[in-house]
Structure 1
Amino acid sequence: MKDFAASSDPAVQRQLDRLAALSLPQGRLGLEVVRDLLGRLGDPQLNLPPVFHVAGTNGKGSTCAYLAAMLEAEGLVVHSATKPHLVRYNERIRIAGRLIDDALLASLLAEVLDAGEDLTPSFFEVTTVATFLAFARHPADACVIEVGLGGRLDATNVLEHPAATAIASLGVDHEAFLLVPEDGAPSEPLVRIAFEKAGIARTGAPMVTQAYAEGMELEIQRLCAAAGAPLHMRDADWWAEVGDDAIEYRDRHGALTLPLPALPGRHQGDNAALAVAVLRHQDRVSVGPAAMAAGIRAARWPARLQLLGDGPLTAQAPGRAIWLDGGHNADAGAAIARHFAGQQVHLVIAMLANRDPQAIIAPLAASIATLSAVPIEGSAAHEASAFGPDARAHGTVAAALAALPPDGLPVLIAGSLYLAGKVLAANGEAPD
């Protein structure tokens, strides 16, 4: 699946067309190409402000959003790189808190594509190099960089001296890439995932993590020890209880009572606590408790249990709460199910053909009032039959919403970030 992108700016679109023609050459995995390309452009990754590098299966994007918001609440200038984009490619690169503008984006992509034409780089390698160029050329106090896929072999994993690294929640995802048998890698799936994510550990840079099953924790401990990276793991070096009214956090520096995030879901309290722990276990950037609290309240992360506003799409089902979530694996399904526990919801779902429908359907089973299956424009997606005998097929999300019974029950649109991007665009809520 290629990560296609489109732009209304002709100069940007010319470069995005060049990006769309790229693919990862069969069998090539490694950091050699991205390192070569960075070298041709002056190694911008060596000239970045203090970097916070975040991996994980679920929650890494939200953790990045909390980190950026906390740093900004302290009055610092922050660059951030997240993925994937939902509506516009520009969402991947934020300079001083704002989406990269079209003119700069077109120039950077052209510079990187021209420099690496003979290297046959991938979409992700070009994107990463363009991001590092942008961040190196614009002064800031900190950078927050989200890992794309895995960690060990992700294109972002060329950073040498991050301020801190972090791992959010872990689960099995992207099996075709992360579970390929390899000499020296663990064979047990979840331990292998931990092995891949912990590949971002760096000598002297603190790594801060959530708590995991024993085998996963042992693997992370082994890799951090080998890398010389101080490890700070939840329930061993820091603790957090997400309650009904607050997050109670403590570590060797003391205790904090922090507000709950504006983002819904108990798991968001866990992600916010991880961001707090990251900042309190490094010494490159100073952020106080007041800024941490303000950042928790201010952080926003689209398409993760996002309550949609008024717009052309939600007008198809007036008077209802319509939620959007791009989660597509079992851990995401469990988090969504916790949010809707004890209530009924109309589910509108689409999933890429290489995803397991039960990852979302099974955890939500007790809450599903009706199930409507829709396609994902431009992507190979499951037919309605994949979601079970009760699934009804509709040609569009708008049609699915318009066909709902007049019962006022809330709606959940879920199953794919690709679908989420289409929904946000259709409702006029593109991230800014």
Structure 2
Amino acid sequence: MRKNGPTGVETLPQTLINVPGAPDDCRGRLVERARLEWRCGDGGDPAALAQEFLTGHGVAVADLGRPARHHADGACGAALYLSAAAGALLAGGAPGAATPVPALPDLVVVVYDHADRHGGRPAPGTGRHRPADLRRAAAPDAVPGPATAARRPDPAAPRWWLGAWRESWTPGQHADAVEAVRAAIGLGDVYQVNLVGHAAAPYAGDPLPALARLGALPGARYGGTLAGLDWAIGCASPETLVEVDGGRLVTRPIKGTRPATAAGRRELLASAKERAEHVMIVDLERNDLARVARIGSVRVDELFAVRRWCDLWQAESTVSAAVGDGLGLADLLRAVCPGGSVTGAPKLAALNRIAALEPVGRGASMGAFGWVGSGRIDLGLTIRTAAADVDRLHVWAGGGITWGSDPAAEVAEAAAKAAPVRGLLAAG
């Protein structure tokens, strides 16, 4: 376990905190107080560590049903990121393949103070850390690879270059994995499994502006960034993993995708396959919430609502419940992580199938990322999410596989989900 204070931040300018779910009134005046970073290899329970760390810094998360207020003279709250690998650990699932971004921790908790507590400037040992290795200028001789449309940056503009994407599996291998899931469904081992692919591309320049641009994508309810030593993540997710406010739990699973055309909307609404897949995940999410909710309080507020994200229609439902007595953050994370819409059903069996089929780990994707404050939690599911290490950008995309899945269509759907993210990252 690591408890890191940011390095050399006293000399950094105060910057906008761009974490999903942070209070709007506070975004321009937040500075980092303390940071926890943890990796699966460190041992221990990441949910318990997160709750202990936050409680120790004055963020009330031990009893989420107890009324709590946001105090201007205390910690504002915290950014929280939990990887899919950490979620699988909490659920007791197989660990899966190694992450392609080993610099990225599996748990990050960053506690923020209000800058005006310290006369309008960060106090010693606080602030936003932008590591030097993630601020490099583009090499003068950097040129695009043959398979990318990126152009050499204008010398007068901030330099940014993104090379060609390299997939972790071929379309044929992806299709074979879909068939393997269909075979497992035929045997009764699983009902649905979410398969995720990965791609990486070399870059030169500062990746943080590129990652921050993802938050401007239409429907990016959880648009935001987080950075540390040799890593950064950017999110454009539309999906709520879990929200806690006013004594209620809310999750909004998304499952079902079509092109954002009039015909695509009609097709999604009429698809028996997509509706059956969606309802299966809604039932799974109802089950997850019931583990930590007041008995008999779980309800489906909205079912199969079709909404737009960039150039896609997607089906979303809203499931809510009353917070159970004595529920703390640790038990909440254990109940909902990893999200059912990116694992499958039954969840544990799906996790074991994912570990056997996906060639690389899910890294920054399919985890949790958002804000935790006293009396309020808002965590998005890290779909439509990218990560940077010191020399590569990484993206992930996939979809849920059922008995009725067509392998070629699943491959095309994953590509359609990744395209807006890749396009915005390449923009210079």
Same fold flag (TM > 0.5): no
The structure carrying a bigger strand percent of its residues is: 2
Greater share of helix? 1
Of structures 1 and 2, the one scoring higher in RCO (CA 8 A, sep 6+) is: 2
